[in-house]
């Protein structure tokens, strides 16, 4: 059995209540951090652990904390990004609803480390019942003296606020999240200034993902160095993977980073293999925004090495032959899946979720969606394929926030690896538009 | 006490060195070059959303993206992505490439394409034609053909008060009108609704924009999305003659430009500078109610050059080399626009000629000539 950090006690009955969570060793990390450590020491532990942002970008959390500006007389804020809305990713949802106190505990420790006296959890608007669960957990923690004024008699005050969003994907981008939290339209801000200097209400702010923060209690209990021993290379610790698609056991799995993709996909401990009688055709390893890879490239890198579930191994080969770990949305496609239809579906999502602030993303996402819709419905023409590649190139890197990149990558990678399938849709419109029809040409299945 | 002058920052923009105050943006540095030497005005990155009088504007249209080849003297690494020049501050020793970088020009071309795919291109019936920033931008940096085959986004016209017409179909969502209302009124009643390419400027529940300075959104609009109802379809901009004038106004500075057709004042606007930016916002009384010459003290013809493609005779057949269809069109239908102000000479059209179709070689030789 692989080591579990976040989900160790997740199946204990009643773990969502304070008493059961406390019995399982909960809140000892808060006691340890607040009573025996200074904020600097907590930040140091986070740095030692090497834990990387679990929201998608993979930026080391300790380093992010280190960038926080600390001017005198200005409040600092910690904001937890629980606006998880990437297609294929549902790990934070699972964590928050099953074991809310883990997040609350992490928030207390992290806020203490950053010197924040008011912290926010920005929850995706659709997950209103999770907001209730978190608020209930906060009430319990407050009643036990772990939140509010003078926590555990240490003189440290913390108020924790749960804020539901309005249900926009773009509000998961950290500066758009801050705008939304301030009560404005959720448009991403231009950077610089970065949130670490001017964030929420123009004060220094750190925005971290749920899973990153939830790791903190284990790190404090066991030490950052111990955490860094788990995992492989610079991908330390464990990661929650949301597995979905044509597999036998979809769900949220906690893996030690460095497990091979093949093991994760096929072992009974995790996904349990592609559904019976079918073969793997393609795989999205990190949520809908990362490049899709065909079966042969996801199992082995271009150099023939085993592909591992780690930040480095998945991005091996760049975008030509690699992908990204992203937020850990593991979507599996077997040979019955139509890549064109799937790309159109992703593209439709990004078109719908673009905030419309900067022109390449506002106009480009809609344009790509319309072209893909045409190809999928048998009205494509041959120059559309190259046009799509060109549009995606023109969007990528020219937008304010990464949503433009996220919209461009799936389209560009699908055409890079499955060009024949697009061409087949264009040259055989009648066959391609028949219900359930899928390209049967030459493709590498595993 | 002696005034301490801040140490000037030296940057290189397209091979030209310029010294500016710390905190200046790349765009302002480029404008400084052009203001010192008008023949270099082709170097200035275009701005569709950035508007200097509105400090929060900028960064949205991505038309002014430039390449920073060297971040600063301390950290000479290039910046990984193109940066918006309107909001990026200069650093000592920064090297910026604009018209000398093909990547920048290609990106700009694609921005024109993106902005135009949902634009109706109804210039022949649009009041803004002749002073439209999008028209100039597309003429200077765009390509002739479109690759867009899909339906264009359309909206119904919205009535927002007695003086202003909102035609959302033409809007490029620069947010300038939103920031104008934020800046000069206490309570903004219009804003951006919805998101993505469905977003639109609108008022909440069809409410009229009703305040003394509402008319200024017409001036800041770079396209014909917000137009003056008292001027709509009255005339083409290039047939009118601008005169500076002022009056004593208890609400605003009273400094305006009157637009004459013959002896008749058919429009009043705020005065704009070379970059098409308003100097002083004016009130609705000055703008909409005072349309007689007797209301005003005339100061003489407007000093600022007209630079739009139509007003400055850019469609003259012998100046338009490409595209072919415009050449034919221009040759058959061209009538010179009678603008007797002496500063409009062929010299000024060189700017457009030089960057037309990103003609780099031409541009370089021009640079060499000027150096």
* Residue at token pair 């597995």: A243
DSSP A162: E
- For chain A, positions 339-368, list CB contacts with chain B under 8 A: 351-360, 362-367
* Cβ neighbours of A397 in B, within 8 Å: 81-82
* Cβ neighbours of B150 in A, within 8 Å: 367, 370-371, 374
Pick left, alpha or beta for residue B15 (phi over 0 → left; psi -120 to 50 → alpha; otherwise beta).
left
- For chain A, positions 189-248, list CB contacts with chain B under 8 A: 190
Model ipTM value:
0.91
DSSP A356-410: S-SHHHHHHHHHHHHHHHHHHTT---THHHHHHHHHHHHHTT-SSSTHHHHHHHH
CB-based burial, A230-257: b 16+ in 10 Å, e otherwise: bbbeebbbbbbbbbbbbbeebebbbbbb
Which residue of chain B is at minimal alpha-carbon distance from A350? B196
Share of chain A above pLDDT 70, in %: 99
- How far is A376 from A390, CA to CA, in rounded Å? 19
* Cβ neighbours of A375 in B, within 8 Å: none
Question: Mind telling me how many Å the CA of B253 is from chain A's nearest CA?
Answer: 33
How confident is the model at residue B307, as a pLDDT? 67
- How far is A332 from A285, CA to CA, in rounded Å? 8
CB proximity B364 to A under 8 Å = no
* Cβ neighbours of A358 in B, within 8 Å: 59-62
Which residue of chain B is at minimal alpha-carbon distance from A384? B147
* Cβ neighbours of B192 in A, within 8 Å: 185, 356
Which residue of chain A is at minimal alpha-carbon distance from B196? A356
How confident is the model at residue B322, as a pLDDT? 53
DSSP B38-50: GGGGGGSPP-SS-
Both tokens of residue A20?
């059961």
Taking all residues of chain A, what is their mean pLDDT, rounded to a whole number?
Answer: 94
Which residue of chain A is at minimal alpha-carbon distance from B200? A356
Task: Enumerate the β-bridge partners of residue B97.
Answer: B67
- For chain B, positions 11-50, list CB contacts with chain A under 8 A: none
How confident is the model at residue B352, as a pLDDT? 46
- How far is B246 from B254, CA to CA, in rounded Å? 5
- How far is A33 from A38, CA to CA, in rounded Å? 7
CB proximity A398 to B under 8 Å = yes
pLDDT-derived band at B359, boundaries 50, 70, 90: very low
Range B229-257 average pLDDT: 91
More confident residue, B305 or B277: B277
Say if residue A432's pLDDT is above 50: yes
Share of chain B above pLDDT 90, in %: 57
- Spell out the domains of chain A, with CATH numbers in brackets: 18-229 (3.40.50.11540), 241-334 (3.10.20.600), 339-432 (1.20.1440.230)
Say if residue A307's pLDDT is above 60: yes
Sheet bearing B158-159, strands edge to edge? B158-159, B164-166, B226-228
Dihedral (CA of B95, B222, B105, B318) sign: negative
How confident is the model at residue B17, as a pLDDT? 94
CB atoms under 10 Å from CB of A14, counted, come to: 10
In Å, how far from its chain's centre is CA B152? 24
DSSP B2: P
Question: Mind telling me how many Å the CA of A226 is from chain B's nearest CA?
Answer: 35
Both tokens of residue A407?
């919209």
Range A34-43 average pLDDT: 96
- Spell out the domains of chain B, with CATH numbers in brackets: 9-107 (3.10.20.740)
- How far is B197 from B261, CA to CA, in rounded Å? 38
> What is the distance in angstroms between the CA of the first residue and the CA of the last residue of chain B?
41
A356 and B198: CB-CB below 8 Å?
Answer: yes
A282: closest CA among A258, A267, A298, A303? A298
Residue B148 neighbours by CB under 8 Å, 6+ apart: A367, B113, B116, B117
Task: Enumerate the β-bridge partners of residue B228.
Answer: B164
- How far is A1 from A8, CA to CA, in rounded Å? 11
Which residue of chain B is at minimal alpha-carbon distance from A387? B147
- How far is B51 from B49, CA to CA, in rounded Å? 6
How confident is the model at residue B337, as a pLDDT? 60
In three-state secondary structure terms, B99 is: coil
Which of A238-252, A312-326, A370-384, B139-153 is the least confident region? B139-153
Question: Mind telling me how many Å the CA of A274 is from chain B's nearest CA?
Answer: 36
Helix ranges, A37-147 (H): 39-49, 61-66, 91-98, 100-114, 128-143
Question: Mind telling me how many Å the CA of B258 is from chain A's nearest CA?
Answer: 34
Question: Mind telling me how many Å the CA of A256 is from chain B's nearest CA?
Answer: 32
CB proximity A400 to B under 8 Å = yes
Q: 3-state SS string over A10-54?
A: CCCCCCCCHHHHHHCCCCHHHHHHHHHCCHHHHHHHHHHHCCECC
B150 and A185: CB-CB below 8 Å?
Answer: no
CB proximity A149 to B under 8 Å = no
Taking all residues of chain B, what is their mean pLDDT, rounded to a whole number?
Answer: 84
* Cβ neighbours of A398 in B, within 8 Å: 62, 65, 81-82, 107, 110-111
pLDDT in tens, B331-346: 566 566 655 544 434 4
Pick left, alpha or beta for residue A145 (phi over 0 → left; psi -120 to 50 → alpha; otherwise beta).
left
């Amino acid at each position: 059995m692989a080591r579990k950090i976040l989900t160790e006690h997740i199946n204990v009955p009643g773990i969502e209540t304070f008493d059961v969570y406390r019995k399982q060793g909960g809140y000892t990390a808060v006691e340890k951090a607040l009573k025996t450590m200074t904020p600097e020491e907590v930040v140091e532990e986070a740095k030692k652990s090497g834990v990387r942002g679990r929201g998608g970008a993979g930026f080391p959390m300790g380093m992010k904390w280190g960038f926080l500006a600390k001017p005198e007389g200005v409040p600092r804020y910690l904001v937890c990004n629980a606006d998880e809305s990437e297609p294929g990713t549902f790990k934070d949802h699972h964590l928050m609803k099953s074991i809310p106190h883990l997040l609350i505990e992490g928030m207390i420790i992290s806020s203490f480390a950053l010197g924040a006296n008011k912290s926010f959890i920005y929850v995706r608007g659709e997950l209103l019942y999770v907001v209730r669960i978190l608020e209930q957990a906060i009430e319990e923690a407050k009643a036990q003296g772990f939140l509010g004024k003078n926590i555990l008699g240490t003189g440290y005050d913390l108020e924790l606020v749960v804020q539901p969003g309005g249900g926009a994907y773009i509000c998961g981008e950290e500066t758009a999240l801050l705008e939304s939290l301030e009560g404005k339209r959720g448009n991403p801000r231009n950077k610089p200034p970065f949130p670490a200097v001017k964030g929420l209400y123009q004060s220094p702010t750190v925005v971290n993902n749920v899973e990153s923060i939830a790791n903190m209690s284990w790190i404090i209990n066991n030490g950052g160095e111990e955490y860094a021993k788990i995992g492989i290379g610079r991908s330390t610790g464990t990661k929650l993977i949301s597995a979905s698609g044509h597999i036998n056991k979809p769900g949220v799995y906690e893996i030690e980073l460095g497990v091979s993709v093949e093991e994760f996909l096929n072992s009974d401990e995790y996904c349990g293999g592609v559904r019976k009688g079918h073969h793997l055709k393609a795989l999205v390893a990190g949520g809908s925004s990362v490049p899709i890879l065909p079966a042969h490239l996801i199992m082995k890198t271009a150099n023939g090495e085993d592909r591992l579930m780690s930040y480095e191994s998945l991005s091996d080969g760049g975008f030509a032959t690699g992908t990204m770990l992203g937020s850990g949305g593991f979507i599996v496609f077997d040979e019955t899946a139509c890549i064109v239809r799937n790309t159109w579906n992703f593209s439709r999502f990004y078109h719908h979720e673009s905030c419309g602030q900067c022109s390449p993303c506002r106009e480009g996402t809609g344009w790509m969606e319309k072209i893909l819709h045409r190809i999928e419905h048998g009205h494509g023409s041959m120059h559309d394929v190259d046009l799509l590649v060109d549009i995606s190139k023109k969007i990528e890197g020219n937008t304010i926030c990464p949503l433009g990149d996220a919209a461009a990558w799936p389209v560009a990678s699908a055409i890079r690896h499955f060009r024949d399938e697009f061409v087949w849709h264009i040259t055989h419109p009648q066959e391609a538009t028949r219900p359930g029809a899928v390209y049967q040409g030459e493709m590498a299945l595993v | 006490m002696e005034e301490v002058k801040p140490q000037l920052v030296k940057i290189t923009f397209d091979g030209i060195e310029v010294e500016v105050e710390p905190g200046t943006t790349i765009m302002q540095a480029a404008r400084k070059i052009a203001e010192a030497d008008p023949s270099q005005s082709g170097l200035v990155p275009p701005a569709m959303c950035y508007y200097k009088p509105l400090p929060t504007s900028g960064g949205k249209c991505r038309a002014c993206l430039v390449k920073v080849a060297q971040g600063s003297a301390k950290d000479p690494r290039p910046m990984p992505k193109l940066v918006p020049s309107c909001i990026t501050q200069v650093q000592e020793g920064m090297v910026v490439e604009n018209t000398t970088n093909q990547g920048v020009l290609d990106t700009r071309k694609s921005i024109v394409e993106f902005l135009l795919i949902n634009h109706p291109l109804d210039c022949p019936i649009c009041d803004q034609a002749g002073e439209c920033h999008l028209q100039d931008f597309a003429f200077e940096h765009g390509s002739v053909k479109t690759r867009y085959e899909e339906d264009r986004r359309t909206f119904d016209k919205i009535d927002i008060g007695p003086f202003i017409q909102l035609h959302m179909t033409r809007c490029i969502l620069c947010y300038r009108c939103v920031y104008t209302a934020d800046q000069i009124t206490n309570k903004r009643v219009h804003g951006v609704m919805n998101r993505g390419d469905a977003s639109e400027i609108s008022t909440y529940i069809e409410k009229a924009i009703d305040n003394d300075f509402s008319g200024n959104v017409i001036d800041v609009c770079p396209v014909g999305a917000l137009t003056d109802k008292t001027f709509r379809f009255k005339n083409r901009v290039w047939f009118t003659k601008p005169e500076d004038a002022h009056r004593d106004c208890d609400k605003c500075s009273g400094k305006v430009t009157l637009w004459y057709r013959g002896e008749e004042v058919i429009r009043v606007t705020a005065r704009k500078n070379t970059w098409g930016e308003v100097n002083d916002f004016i009130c609705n009384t000055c703008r909409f109610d005072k349309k007689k010459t007797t209301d005003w003290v005339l100061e003489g013809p407007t000093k600022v050059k007209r630079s739009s493609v139509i007003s400055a005779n850019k469609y003259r057949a012998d100046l338009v080399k490409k595209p072919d269809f415009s050449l034919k069109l221009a040759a058959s239908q061209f009538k010179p626009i009678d603008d007797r102000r002496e500063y409009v000479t062929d010299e000024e059209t060189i700017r457009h000629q030089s960057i037309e179709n990103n003609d780099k070689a031409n541009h370089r030789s021009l640079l060499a000539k000027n150096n």
